[in-house]
Amino acid sequence: MSRIANSVLVGAALMLAGCGSGGQAATASGTVTGDVTVFAAASLTETFTRLGEDFEEANPGTKVRFNFGGSSALAQQLDQGAPADVFASAAPANMKQVTDTRTITDAPRTFARNKLAIVVPKGNPGGISRLADFADAGRKIALCAEQVPCGAASQKVFELAKVTPAPDTLEQDVKAVLTKVSLGEVDGALVYRTDVRAAGDKVEGIEFAESAQAVNDYPIAPLAKAPNAVAAKAFVDFVLSGEGRAVLSAAGFDHP
């Protein structure tokens, strides 16, 4: 409940911010200026924060604001009219949620690919080495809830590997899963390869073969009612540019 209330508050704050910037961008049509509000998947937290800084530097007078979260929650907020300029989802399914309602009219473009990896706390206390270990009820396992993209991808790899996992918790986004691992509360989890890299040396990653068959495409698109349409388009172009690609691949994303 309180979480929902929080997102409503965030929405209201964004609305105010959006109103302020909208006028500013209109006066200087053509040049990129003002606030850009980007709703992005939780797994993009580090890369997009970096890209936002680079974008602000390349376009003085702009300010990029982010709302990171589970792609499904973000899509839901956008469908309910949350004022944003750009949506970057961790899966085409959640992008479809917003294109179906015509909240996004431009054709979304795939800008990155990601695959899952096993993640264990430093030192691997649970001795996990392969997907089959996730079926052991004696080990503490965290997975993403099936509603969010990482959960859907996890389900797919378990089906491919013919493993029935025995999770202890189904988290609401990939970063929540990662937190449980880095605190050592679970023995193992499935997150994106990029999340393993972002968590640094608090965790260890283990690649597995089935992950190649459950690759997540990340689509991005400007919103139909973007308060700052010019900057929205510029930000999308920036993510798709060579510069954006370099930041993404440094973080472990594959290029489509």
In the bound complex, what is the minimum distance in angstroms from residue 149's beta carbon to other proteins?
11
Contact call for residue 194 and other proteins (CB under 8 A): no
In the bound complex, what is the minimum distance in angstroms from residue 64's beta carbon to other proteins?
24
The residue assigned the tokens 């972002």 is 198
Q: Are strands 203-206 and 116-121 parallel, antiparallel or unpaired?
A: antiparallel
Select from 217, 245, 256, 250 the least CA-distant residue to 115: 217
Q: How far apart are CA 14 and CA 7, in angstroms?
A: 10
Contact call for residue 183 and other proteins (CB under 8 A): yes
Contact call for residue 19 and other proteins (CB under 8 A): no
In the bound complex, what is the minimum distance in angstroms from residue 201's beta carbon to other proteins?
16
Within residues 62-91, the interface with other proteins by CB under 8 A covers 70, 72-73, 75-76
Q: Return the range that interacts with other proteins (CB under 8 A); candidates 11-19, 25-33, 52-60, 166-174.
A: 166-174
Beta-bridged to residue 16, according to DSSP, are none
Find out whether 174 is annotated in a ligand binding site.
yes
Find out whether 71 is annotated in a ligand binding site.
yes
Q: In what order do the strands lie in the sheet with 216-222?
A: 62-69, 34-41, 86-88, 216-222, 109-114
Q: How far apart are CA 114 and CA 255, in angstroms?
A: 9
In the bound complex, what is the minimum distance in angstroms from residue 168's beta carbon to other proteins?
4
The number of beta carbons lying within 10 Å of the beta carbon of residue 168 is: 14
CA angle in degrees (0–180, nearest 5) for 166-94-18: 125
Q: What is the number of residues in the chain? A: 256
Within residues 114-153, the interface with other proteins by CB under 8 A covers 140, 142, 145, 147-148
In the bound complex, what is the minimum distance in angstroms from residue 146's beta carbon to other proteins?
9
Contact call for residue 98 and other proteins (CB under 8 A): no
Structure tokens at 5: 């209330």
Binding footprint of other proteins on the chain (CB under 8 A): 1-4, 70, 72-73, 75-76, 140, 142, 145, 147-148, 167-172, 176, 180, 183-186
Which residues carry a binding-site annotation for molybdate? Answer: 43, 71, 174, 192
Which residues carry a binding-site annotation? Answer: 43, 71, 174, 192
